[in-house]
Amino acid sequence: MARTGAPRQHTTSWHWNTMVLCMENSQEVEKAAVILVKAANDDELRGSFSVDTAAVASLALACVHDETDTNNLREKIQKALRLLTDQILEKQQESGIIGNIYSTGLAIQALSVTSQFSSQDKWNCTKTLEKVLQEAYLGTFNNPGTISQILPSLAGKTYLDVRNLLCLPVHLLRVHYTIINHLVGVGFEHPITVEVPPCSVLLDVLEAAKRANQTEFSFKTEETCWGPMVISIHGIEANENEKTYWQFLSGDKPLDQGVGSYKPSNNENIVAIFSKY
């Protein structure tokens, strides 16, 4: 346990947590920021210094710095950010890389929000970005983790910009689904309208109908080489000997895809008819 109260082995996760608390406007964020400030000012990050850790700490503290109304805390954060920024810049290489190529993305993000705490001539941003682009063309960033650190920088953004994202509402698809049986037992026609997310397949429609009315729209499937095949609806099973099956149509047109691949459109009429072949 460090003198700050933060476990040493969880230093980086503590920084991430502080950033999230800040972006969520949590009441606990200032307590977390105080711990990060102490860790930076007591030089606890320097013994096993990594650009990644310092960059995330800088992003977290920069977020708190912009949000807090506590002047005393702001002054302490400014001191910590000057120290962290200098430490990150000390890891610059002649090529523009900061630390190593994989830590450079986070370093760019951090330096872009802490420029006020360092001299402008200490970092050649253009050179670093050109090196990152060169490595990107060479395929250096080949997994989601490294790509996610580089992309914000190339767009002139940082993880802190997540606060400003406006997520558009998801417009659900409305599908009209009817099951029809006039072959066996007491005939019936049961219609229902369900809503499913965009890009849903027909099987999702059947599942939604089943959730809405288990009694009328229960169904069973069987796995085949062509995907799931519906073998029973409303307790009525297809029978190979009697040559009966459940046929699916869009309006009056038979579907040419299975329930696991066909994607209904908005306000489409899907019909399942117990039929003979």
Binding residue ranges: 52, 100, 149, 255, 277
The Cα–Cα gap between 84 and 89 comes to: 9
Q: How is residue 229 written in tokens?
A: 């095949």
The Cα–Cα gap between 206 and 190 comes to: 13
Residues annotated within the binding site for cyanocob(III)alamin are 52, 100, 149, 255, 277
Q: In terms of Cα–Cα distance, which of 218, 231, 215, 217 is closest to 177?
A: 217
Q: How many CA atoms are closer than 13 Å to the CA of 191, on its beta-carbon side? A: 7
CB burial of 194-203 (b: ≥16 within 10 Å; e: otherwise) equals: bebeeebbbb
The Cα–Cα gap between 14 and 1 comes to: 13
Q: How is residue 136 written in tokens?
A: 């990107």
The Cα–Cα gap between 264 and 260 comes to: 11
Q: In terms of Cα–Cα distance, which of 203, 201, 172, 176 is closest to 191?
A: 176
Classify 33 as helix, strand or coil: helix
> Are 202 and 262 contacting, i.e. CB atoms less than 8 angstroms apart?
yes
